[in-house]
Amino acid sequence: MMEFKITKLTPDDMKHVKMMVQELAEFEKMPNGPKLSIENFQADLKSNHFFGFIAMSENNEPAGMALCYMAYSTWEGPFIHMEDLYVRPSFRKSGLGKKLVVAVCKEAKDKNYQRVQWNVLDWNPAREFYNKLGATNLSEKEGWLAYRLEPEQISKIASQEI
């Protein structure tokens, strides 16, 4: 059985984070990937815009990560949004994904947050893993859909009078 060392992210981990975010983007058929540099990731981590965990293999190779940020619900207060959960292909089916989710849930419990939430593409085979965890599919159960404003729409709307 493979052993992993899971630690909270530090600025020194950002080279591994950028690499894994790019791998995840390619897996998700978004090869243009992240527009952020290693320095952007480091600055954002230091500014507490996000936090997370990195898993290193026995050979000190990056094996996976969970990137999160604190969000807020007007019904329940602060919660964790898990932006990225990624296990590199050679480490899948090793239990690492669950270990990373355990680390995130321990953080939520320590801070008394009421939930951990994330989005997943409808074709992603990780949905089976999330179902086994007991996660709720909010689209099926409550009908929630995700919307986003891109920079062009933000600029157009922001140029209007309040």
Longest dimension (CA), the chain: 60
**Which residue in the list 86, 113, 130, 147 is annotated as catalytic?**
130
Domain ranges in the chain? 4-136
pLDDT value of residue 14: 98
Confidence (pTM): 0.93
How confident is residue 100, by pLDDT bands cut at 50, 70 and 90? very high
- C-alpha span between 2 and 136 (Å, rounded): 29
Question: Model confidence over 16-71: pLDDT tens digits?
Answer: 999 999 999 999 998 787 899 999 999 999 999 999 999 999 999 999 999 999 99
Name which of 47, 64, 38 is nearest 126 in CA terms. Answer: 64
**CATH architecture label of 4-136:** 3-Layer(aba) Sandwich (3.40)
Which two three-digit tokens encode residue 125? 């085979």
Residue 113 annotated in active site: no
